[in-house]
């Protein structure tokens, strides 16, 4: 196949994949282990088997497609996730999975055409519940695979309706007993979800490190009462306390003028959520991120210091628990160098970047030599139906990933 043929095939498959859970706004709605997620997993399963891969599922729903060309050898693993946010974009995660599938198949064909066998096999992975929107935490599948989260804990996790991960996975038929491949190296490609590459007119981002993140579950407790008859002085309004906390979280970012600090309250559950009842309880998800870990720790400490004042002003109690997080951490320099050389050979402009968002590669880099690549996001829009990346960029990224996988299969990271 010519390069143009490869591009046409990829774009046609991406158009098909984008139909699963498609929304009127041009995005997708396919949260983890929903019917739409099951449909796209079945489609990927068939795509992989049609091209000679064996597909297996592990105990928490991670989907693996194994191309075995050197029996007994470990695998270069490449992938991302197919699950989406509510009313999410078509590219987030899904691009990386499909690019990995095409790149792995192309790399296998290259070895076959050359009449030689690689040092390592190649496998594609669709990680379960990377988004963390239906089930918490995010990056669940790769966290279990890398030993950071017990499988039993993940399987027992419930969504807001009380459905467990295990029950949801069994409902779509993608839970198994496969233990996963022996991984020699890992590669992932993703849309940037920011404006850096577009602003610099650069095609490829080579991720050399991560921002740090801290995520908290916060519960504000007050007392349920009548919105009309209860006098203001007697109210213990949990929603007032939560609102003051939301403002405090935002002010942390506004006060950080020298070093970036991103802060969000991204989820809120209000009880009883009635129009004539003062809220008795509000649950919030607080997200703090920065490239400076000391600044992040100072921000978290400052936020904790605002809680007593909010409790007093709103006559509430507040409980804050850190649910998970990660530090500023580098990706292997050898992998960045390998990807840069491959990009140069393909004539693709590139620059080193940090990843602000969490990705499955953030987990995988701790257990295997890992490479993370970005392609541009138009206007930095993500987790939104308007998310978009130009065809030439997704195709260029897939070409680069193919070359990276081919080199990793040859053992190029072994001597670095």
Determine the average pLDDT of the residues in 110-133: 96
- Residues 217 and 226 sit within 8 Å (Cβ to Cβ): no
3-state secondary structure of 129: coil
Least confident of 264-268, 280-284, 342-346: 264-268
pLDDT tens across 407-416, in order?
Answer: 999 999 886 5
Structural tokens at position 227: 């919105």
Distance CA 223, CA 337 (A): 58
Residue 415 has a pLDDT of 61
The 10 Å Cβ neighbour count of residue 178 is: 16
pLDDT of 105 higher than 70: yes
Determine the average pLDDT of the residues in 341-368: 95
pLDDT of 324 higher than 90: no
Distance CA 189, CA 171 (A): 29
Question: Max alpha carbon distance in the chain (Å)?
Answer: 83
Residue 416 has a pLDDT of 55
Instruction: Say how many CA atoms lie within 13 Å of 65 toward its Cβ.
Output: 28
Provide the total of helices (H) and of strands (E) in the chain, helices listed first: 12, 14
pTM: 0.92
Residue 357 has a pLDDT of 87
Structural domains of the chain ordered from first start: 3-211+328-409 (3.40.630.10), 212-326 (3.30.70.360)
Axis-axis angle for helices 3-17, 35-50 (nearest 10): 150
Average pLDDT over the chain, rounded to an integer:
96
pLDDT of 325 higher than 90: no
Counting every residue written for the chain, the total comes to 416
Distance CA 246, CA 265 (A): 6
pLDDT band at 155 (very low <50, low <70, confident <90, very high): very high
- Each as own residue / partner, the long-range contacts of residues 316-319 (CB below 8 Å, 24 or more positions apart, any chain) are 316/220, 316/221, 316/222, 316/236, 316/237, 316/238, 316/240, 316/241, 317/220, 317/221, 318/218, 318/219, 318/220, 318/221, 318/241, 318/245, 319/218, 319/219, 319/221
Q: Which residue has the tokens 């075995």?
A: 68
Backbone angles phi, psi at 289, to 5 degrees: -145, 145
pLDDT tens across 168-206, in order?
Answer: 999 999 999 999 999 999 999 999 999 999 999 999 999
Distance CA 39, CA 49 (A): 16
């Amino acid at each position: 196949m010519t390069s143009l043929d490869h591009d046409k095939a990829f774009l046609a498959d991406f158009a098909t994949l984008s139909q699963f859970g498609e929304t009127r706004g041009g995005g997708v709605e396919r949260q983890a282990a929903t019917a739409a997620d099951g449909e796209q997993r079945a489609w990927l399963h068939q795509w992989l088997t049609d091209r000679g891969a064996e597909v297996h599922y592990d105990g928490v729903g991670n989907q693996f497609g194994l191309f075995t060309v050197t029996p007994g050898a470990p695998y270069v693993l490449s992938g991302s996730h197919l699950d989406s946010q509510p009313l999410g974009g078509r590219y987030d995660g899904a691009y990386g999975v499909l690019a990995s599938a095409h790149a792995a198949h192309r790399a296998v064909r290259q070895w076959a055409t050359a009449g030689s066998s690689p040092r390592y096999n190649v496998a594609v992975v669709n990680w379960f519940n990377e988004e963390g929107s239906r089930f918490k935490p995010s990056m669940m599948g790769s966290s279990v695979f890398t030993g950071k989260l017990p499988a039993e804990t993940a399987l027992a996790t419930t969504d807001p309706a009380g459905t467990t991960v295990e029950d949801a996975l069994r409902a779509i038929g993608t839970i198994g007993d496969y233990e996963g491949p022996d991984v020699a190296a890992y590669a992932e490609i993703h849309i940037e979800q920011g404006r850096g590459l577009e602003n610099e007119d650069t095609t490829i981002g080579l991720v050399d490190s991560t921002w740090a993140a801290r995520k908290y579950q916060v519960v504000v407790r007050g007392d349920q009462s009548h919105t009309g008859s209860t006098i203001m002085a007697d109210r213990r309004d949990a929603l007032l306390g939560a609102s003051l906390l939301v403002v405090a979280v935002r002010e942390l970012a506004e006060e950080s003028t020298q070093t970036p600090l991103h802060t969000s309250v991204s989820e809120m559950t209000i009880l009883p959520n009635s129009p004539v009842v003062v809220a008795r309880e509000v649950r919030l998800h607080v997200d703090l991120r920065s490239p400076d870990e000391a600044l992040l720790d100072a921000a978290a400490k400052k936020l904790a210091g605002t809680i007593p004042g909010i409790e007093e002003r709103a006559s509430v109690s507040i409980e804050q628990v850190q649910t998970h997080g990660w530090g500023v951490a580098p990706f292997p320099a050898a992998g960045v160098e390998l990807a840069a050389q491959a990009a140069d050979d393909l004539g693709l402009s590139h620059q080193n970047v940090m990843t602000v968002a969490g990705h499955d590669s953030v987990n995988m880099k701790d257990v295997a030599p890992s490479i993370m690549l970005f392609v541009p996001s138009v206007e930095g829009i993500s987790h939104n139906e308007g998310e978009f990346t130009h065809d030439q960029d997704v195709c260029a990224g897939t070409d680069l990933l193919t070359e990276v996988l081919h080199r990793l299969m040859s053992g190029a990271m072994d001597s670095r």
